[in-house]
């Protein structure tokens, strides 16, 4: 080819792939999770894999990590073909995985967690704590991942726990790191730190596989991006040759609108009035202090704040799961006295809970049974003491169509659906409840762009229909996009309530961090 042979050689050396995947197919009883997937990841590359919930990302990663065996196709790690993969083999080959849900022992120290299973010993018997701590310190300095080796993991913030997870993987000699939705649990600041870490790892020659469904992040951090859809690779693009819109179109299969879908409606009368409530948290100290606000018809009130500032307790009180210590809650001018979920539901309050698996769904139930959960005594779904199964079926089929719940099978067990479709069940149920007040707590957590757009549109629709919506979210972007008014909660108090058009992202950020406080008389209660 007329090339300089030496140059050619170095090129080959540089081009050695960290991972090669050839024609991987994995079939599960109901779905083809991975359908003939092929790609290469170069050494020292940050390679992102994006796709909707259920697109097959996790299956693919589990294959790379040796948890699943593909039905057909080959995996090459460091140029070597892997025949019977297992996590142990993957680790030996330098593949490390940081799971979305951490695998740490809270009561153990950082060091103990990192060296677990590979402890240093004296004479093979006694643990050599000093040496362990020393080596953790070294590795932490080497990769600029700051941790205190002697601190207990339970005392660490989520961001630092993730750092420990990464260190754990590096300690085991990983050269290829798989990060499964690493930012899902992080605050924006923590995400930024994680990105710095990832860049540092790249500088050290590590290969990073970054799984996400947040397009902005991927464009910020990745060198190349593979888009999965329905188990297939629909495209692999370099960072420069693509855009958020382009990726979203590939992922969802159509154009996605990123702008706020809302028109401005005129808020109506007050439906929910909260006056000076104080709530005691699990630890016996007040976590919500003297909060007051009013929620009107045709209005979305967003509550912004960093996780753990009292949002969870506030929602629990408003939905009847937690008693209030003092103050009053009025729904349509009626003071609520009985704080039970059924009483509050009866008053016309529906809620999309933050934790869908724990509070939103009965996972072993069928889709149709979950679609009527809480409404099983209504006329359409029961005749005196008997369930009206034909009524339930007809209703669920309608809702499955209307809310595009997939797969379209009302008799599937809910646990076999993807997270996004599970969330759609909850949204369908709660909106169909036709409530006067809808409390939506993190309604799009863990969802992909298509599903987020869908949920947002439904929430805004509800507002147009004259409903009052309380939106609690950790995603500032979501709050800014949907709310008419924004309340900021910090350390259990409302430190500001602003009209959307007067609020800037910076100002809300400062309020969230507690760096600023709006004077009481300026709050748009």
Partner 1 sequence: MNELLHWWNRKRENVLDFAVPIMAILTGFFVAAILIKATGKSPIDAYRLLIQGAFGRTFQELLSLRLAGEGLLKGGILALTGLSVAVAFKSGLFNIGAEGQFIVGSITAAFLGFKLHFPPWINIPIILLAVILTSGLYGALAGYLKVKKGVHEVITTIMLNWTAVHLIENWIVVGPFNILRYYPRAIRAGTPYVQDNSRLFPLFEGTRLNATIFIAIIAVIVVYYLLNKTVTGYEIQATGKNPEAARYSGIKTGKSMILAMFISGALAGLAGACMILGTEKQYPGVFRPGYGFDGIAMALIGATSPIGTFATSLFFGFLRSGATSMQLIGIHKTFADIIQGTATLFVASQLAIRYLIMRLEKRRKPEVKEIIKSEVPK
* Interacting residue ranges for partner 1, rule: CB under 8 A: 25, 27, 29, 32, 35, 69, 71-72, 319, 321, 341-342, 345-346, 351, 353, 358-365, 369, 373-374, 376-377, 382, 385-387, 389
Nearer to partner 1, 320 or 496 (CB): 320
Read off the tokens for 80. 């070597």
Q: Can you tell me the distance from the alpha carbon of 469 to that of 459, in angstroms, rounded to the nearest whole number?
A: 8
* In the block, residue with structure tokens 């990832």: 198
Nearer to partner 1, 26 or 163 (CB): 26
* In the block, residue with structure tokens 């606000």: 293
Nearer to partner 1, 32 or 523 (CB): 32
At closest approach, how far in Å is the CB of 342 from partner 1? 4
Nearer to partner 1, 131 or 413 (CB): 413
At closest approach, how far in Å is the CB of 261 from partner 1? 28
At closest approach, how far in Å is the CB of 348 from partner 1? 12
Q: Spell out the residues 6+ positions from residue 476 whose beta carbon is closer than 8 angstroms to its own.
A: 188, 304, 505, 508, 509, 512
* In the block, residue with structure tokens 């001018």: 333
At closest approach, how far in Å is the CB of 419 from partner 1? 15
At closest approach, how far in Å is the CB of 462 from partner 1? 19
Which class for 485: exposed (0-12), middle (13-18), buried (19 or more C-beta within 10 A)? Answer: buried
Nearer to partner 1, 36 or 518 (CB): 36
Nearer to partner 1, 315 or 447 (CB): 315
Ramachandran angles phi, psi of 464, nearest 5°? -60, -30
Nearer to partner 1, 8 or 28 (CB): 28
Read off the tokens for 11. 């090129």
Query: How much helix, strand and coil, in percent to the nearest 5, is found in the chain?
Result: 35, 25, 35
At closest approach, how far in Å is the CB of 522 from partner 1? 36
At closest approach, how far in Å is the CB of 404 from partner 1? 20
- Single out the residue of 324, 339, 334, 337 nearest to residue 292, CA to CA: 324
Going by their DSSP bridges, the two strands 437-441 and 468-473 should be labelled as: parallel
Per the CB < 8 A criterion, the answer to whether 362 and 373 are in contact is: yes
At closest approach, how far in Å is the CB of 332 from partner 1? 18
Read off the tokens for 254. 């159509």
Q: How many CA atoms lie within 13 A of 307 on its CB side?
A: 16
Q: Can you tell me the distance from the alpha carbon of 132 to that of 147, in angstroms, rounded to the nearest whole number?
A: 14
At closest approach, how far in Å is the CB of 336 from partner 1? 14
Per the CB < 8 A criterion, the answer to whether 191 and 119 are in contact is: no
At closest approach, how far in Å is the CB of 431 from partner 1? 14
Q: How many CB atoms lie within 10 A of CB 498?
A: 22
Nearer to partner 1, 351 or 500 (CB): 351
Nearer to partner 1, 304 or 350 (CB): 350
Q: Can you tell me the distance from the alpha carbon of 46 to that of 153, in angstroms, rounded to the nearest whole number?
A: 28
Q: Spell out the residues 6+ positions from residue 180 whose beta carbon is closer than 8 angstroms to its own.
A: 58, 61, 97, 98, 99, 100, 211
Rounded to the nearest angstrom, the gap between the alpha carbon of residue 459 and the centroid of all alpha carbons in its chain is: 19
DSSP 74: E
Q: Can you tell me the distance from the alpha carbon of 315 to that of 355, in angstroms, rounded to the nearest whole number?
A: 12
DSSP bridge pairs for 25: 72
Rounded to the nearest angstrom, the gap between the alpha carbon of residue 338 and the centroid of all alpha carbons in its chain is: 33
At closest approach, how far in Å is the CB of 318 from partner 1? 12
Q: Can you tell me the distance from the alpha carbon of 138 to that of 130, in angstroms, rounded to the nearest whole number?
A: 12
Nearer to partner 1, 2 or 29 (CB): 29
At closest approach, how far in Å is the CB of 152 from partner 1? 28
Per the CB < 8 A criterion, the answer to whether 423 and 455 are in contact is: yes
Nearer to partner 1, 208 or 440 (CB): 440
Which SS3 state, helix, strand or coil, does residue 488 take? strand
Nearer to partner 1, 184 or 321 (CB): 321
C-alpha gyration radius of the chain: 25
At closest approach, how far in Å is the CB of 429 from partner 1? 9
Nearer to partner 1, 377 or 408 (CB): 377
């Amino acid at each position: 080819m007329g090339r300089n042979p030496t140059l050619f050689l170095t090129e080959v050396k540089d081009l050695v792939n960290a991972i090669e995947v050839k024609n991987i197919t994995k079939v599960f009883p109901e779905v083809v999770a991975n359908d003939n997937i092929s790609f290469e990841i170069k050494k020292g590359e940050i390679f992102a894999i994006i796709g909707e919930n259920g697109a097959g990302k996790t299956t693919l990663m589990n294959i790379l990590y040796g948890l699943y065996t593909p039905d057909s196709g080959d995996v090459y790690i460091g140029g070597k073909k892997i025949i019977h993969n297992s996590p142990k083999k993957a680790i030996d080959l330098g593949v490390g995985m940081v799971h979305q849900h951490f695998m740490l022992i809270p009561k153990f120290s950082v060091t103990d967690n990192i060296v677990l299973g590979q402890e240093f010993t004296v004479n093979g018997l006694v643990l050599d704590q000093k040496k362990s701590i020393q080596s953790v310190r070294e590795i932490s300095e080497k990769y600029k991942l700051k941790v205190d080796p002697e601190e207990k993991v339970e005392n660490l913030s989520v961001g630092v726990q993730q750092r420990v997870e990464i260190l754990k993987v590096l300690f085991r000699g990983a050269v290829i790191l798989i990060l499964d939705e690493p930012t899902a649990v992080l605050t924006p600041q923590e995400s930024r730190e994680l990105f710095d870490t990832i860049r540092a790892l790249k500088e050290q020659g590590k290969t990073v596989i970054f799984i996400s469904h947040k397009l902005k992040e991927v464009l910020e951090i990745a060198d190349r991006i593979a888009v999965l859809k329905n188990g297939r690779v629909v495209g692999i693009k370099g960072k420069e040759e693509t855009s958020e819109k382009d990726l979203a179109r590939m992922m969802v299969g159509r154009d996605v609108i990123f702008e706020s879908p809302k028109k401005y409606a005129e808020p109506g009368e007050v439906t929910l009035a909260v006056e000076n409530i104080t709530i005691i948290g699990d630890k016996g100290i007040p976590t919500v202090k003297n909060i007051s606000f009013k929620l009107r018809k045709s209005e979305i009130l967003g509550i912004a704040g960093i996780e753990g500032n009292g949002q969870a307790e506030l929602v629990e009180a408003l939905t009847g799961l937690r008693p209030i210590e003092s103050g009053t809650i009025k729904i349509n001018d009626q003071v609520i006295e009985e704080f039970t979920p059924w009483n509050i539901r009866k008053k016309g309050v529906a809620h999309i809970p933050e934790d869908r698996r724990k509070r939103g769904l009965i996972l072993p139930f069928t889709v149709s049974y979950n679609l009527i959960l809480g409404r099983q005594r209504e006329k359409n779904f029961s005749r005196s003491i008997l369930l009206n199964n034909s009524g339930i079926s007809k209703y669920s089929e309608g809702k499955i169509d209307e809310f595009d719940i997939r797969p379209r099978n009302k008799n599937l067990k809910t646990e076999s659906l993807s997270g996004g479709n599970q969330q759609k069940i909850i949204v369908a149920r709660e909106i169909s409840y036709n409530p006067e007040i809808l409390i939506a707590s993190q309604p799009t957590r863990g969802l992909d762009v298509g599903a987020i757009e869908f949920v947002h549109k439904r929430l805004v629709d509800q507002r147009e229909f004259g409903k009052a919506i309380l939106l609690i979210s950790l995603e500032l972007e979501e709050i800014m996009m949907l709310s008419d008014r924004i309340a900021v909660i910090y350390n259990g108090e409302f430190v500001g309530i602003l009209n959307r058009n007067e609020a800037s992202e910076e100002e809300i950020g400062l309020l969230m961090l507690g760096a600023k406080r709006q004077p009481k008389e300026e709050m748009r209660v």
